[in-house]
Amino acid sequence: MVSATVGRGAVLGAVALSLLAVPVRAVAAEHDTPAPATLPAPDTAGLAAVLRSAVDRGAPGALARIDDHGRTYRVTLGVADRGSARAISTEDRFRVGSITKTFSAVVLLQLADEHRLSLDAPVNRYLPKLLPDDRITVRQVLGHRSGLYDYTNDMFAHSVSGFEAVRNKVFTYRQLVALSLKKPRTNAPGAAYAYSNTNFVVAGLLIEKLTGRSVATEYQDRVIGPLGLGDTFYVHPRTAIPGRYARGYLTPDTAGAAPVDATAQTVSWAQSAGAVISSARDLDTFYGALLGGKLMSAARLAEMERFTPVNSTTAYGLGLRRRDLSCGVSVYGHTGAVQGYYTYAFATKDGGRSLTAMANTSNNGKVLDTLAGALDSAFCGKAKAVEP
């Protein structure tokens, strides 16, 4: 059953942070089209159709929440738990995967605001001899331009067996970096964009070295607490999702095999690259606040939004993606894929409208591609009828 509800919600006040205005050269991104002053209303019928398609293609359930200047739209379909058949809800918590990367980038950019980090300094200045090349900078790590090989390519060459081999393991950051360094680098530092989880494992190491505190503590004190994100947690290496949550199901590589319940896992293979737990409400709040300038100085946010093209519709900044939609609007956020969950979380340039859409499955490219359609429904409104 599809449910769509619209309501009024309270808007969070400004986050009290001491921000330093540091001069910076802001480079405008090519094809960077911000949202118009007034976007068309979200197409909730189109959003429901996207979720229906995701479920038809293998997701047990799917949800979407739009927050738009105090107005909230919710659409859900399917189940949160295949065993109990409990209906999925926008109140459910879930694993957000690589959306964690934006959290890590925010912490490091705040440290740059505090003059405790230089984005153009070599990583090895802060973590001596960690990397084999002194030319690899913090900025290149945050923008996936370091050339460091993504160790997860080998770890999950076989989805189910790879997952079962690590679901209860606890890695150190340096062990994960060592896995990457066993392979040649993909390119020279700064030469090209190449997505790699290794980069944000390095980001976690930087956070802990520069602050002397855990990534969990820095997330809590710098983002989760100030924004009042009551559904957001970093529980690594514990395996359970606190409170009410949607179970996540990993699609096997063998057609016809039963989905694997992947809900309980350490996510130690990802940590600061992918281990955050959150909800649709909290992710909307997070990206709305980030794009609205409430988490760092304007100068640092401008650096976060210096994008490198990835393909015709996407670009990558510093822990932040840009998606260019069919209606000409650009939105900003991140995607997340972790065993059992696919998530899209994006907002307009000013943070005024934000969307989170999640399907509780993974290793299913059809569902992932389908879920991307939620962005057009949320930010472009209803498609115009075409004259015959």
Residues marked as catalytic: 98
Helix 280-291 / helix 100-113 crossing angle, nearest 10 deg: 30
What whole-number distance in Å separates Cα of residue 272 and Cα of residue 210? 15
Residue 2 DSSP symbol: -
CB atoms within 10 A of CB 291: 26
Helix 197-211 / helix 173-181 crossing angle, nearest 10 deg: 140
Specify the pairing of strand 71-78 against strand 3-8.
antiparallel
Distances in whole angstroms, Cα of residue 262 to Cα of each of 106, 166, 173, 384: 28, 11, 22, 40
Answer for the pair 65, 90: CB distance below 8 angstroms, yes or no: yes
Residues composing the chain: 388
Rg (CA), the chain: 20
For residue 164, the SS3 value is helix
Answer for the pair 153, 194: CB distance below 8 angstroms, yes or no: no
Opening angle at CA 55, ends 233 and 230, nearest 5: 15
Answer for the pair 319, 142: CB distance below 8 angstroms, yes or no: yes
Answer for the pair 137, 123: CB distance below 8 angstroms, yes or no: yes
Peptide bond into 226 cis (omega under 30): no
